[in-house]
Structure 1
Amino acid sequence: PGEDPDHKAFSRVCVKLSEVFDSMRKSMKSFSQNDINTLGLGLGHDSRYLEAEKEMLFRRTCKLVELENARKNAERAKPVKKAAMEEVKKASETEFEQICEVAKQEINQFQRVRVEMLQKSLIQWCEKQLLTAKESADVFSHHLEAFKSMT
């Protein structure tokens, strides 16, 4: 019944401040969700592309080792087996050249797609961050006006 007006005003300010903190929490949650949904997803794709490229280059390196072994075997082969070893060496060279050609094409494609995906993710992230910032600014502006009207 006979509450102190200062106490009432303080309670109203505390309630309003609580609303501001809640808005800030929601805003931060939205920013972090944007990070996960756009930038995190883009970086995940980028990581998978790099892993695929690494695996392809590893397979190519294994073929290079096979080719070097075939060359050494052809050099050391006795005259009886020399022709057979030369055939194995030529087959290994042809196979390695084909793998290298495919690898060049795939690396170019990987790099192009990686850059496009990363750019797209960064653009989406920036757009979402900007939208969230605008929404947060509107909410905080509303809270500021509410605080100003309390006096």
Structure 2
Amino acid sequence: MLQHGAKEKSRLTFEIGEEISYKSTKFDFLITDVIVDIQPDLVVLKENVLRPADITAIDIRNKDPRNATVRNMAYLGMGAGAILLLTTTINSLYQQGDLSQASDLLPLSGGLIVGGFVISKMQYKTFKHKGKNKIQAVILYGN
């Protein structure tokens, strides 16, 4: 379980069988492994055994639900720019036979596409184990 502060909505949980990418105190690069077992003081992986205190960062690009919102906002901007460019091009060709009208809205549609691309790069990438951020091994028994 990864948690930022005391809020329950800021929790990310990893379960047995899930893939996890992490940086440890021994290595300064991401290592990807599969969780085999979780004990109160250890996380047993397919090729390693870790204590939660030894983990310095965890890759959360595909795990954090906030990234889905950021990704959707980016696609919205890029899609709007592409549709604006396409419709002004078709409209200009249909009405005047050339691309004179399309060139007027080219900066706006380009700005929307670039804005969407910039927003897509603002995703949450890693969860660093410092400050208010906590990494805990919690065993939850289901029914």
Same fold (TM over 0.5): no
TM-score by length of 2: 0.44
Higher helix share: 1
Q: Which has the larger radius of gyration?
A: 1
Q: TM-score, normalised by structure 1?
A: 0.42
Question: Which structure features the higher share of strand residues?
Answer: 2
Q: Which has the higher contact order (CA 8 A, sep 6+)?
A: 1
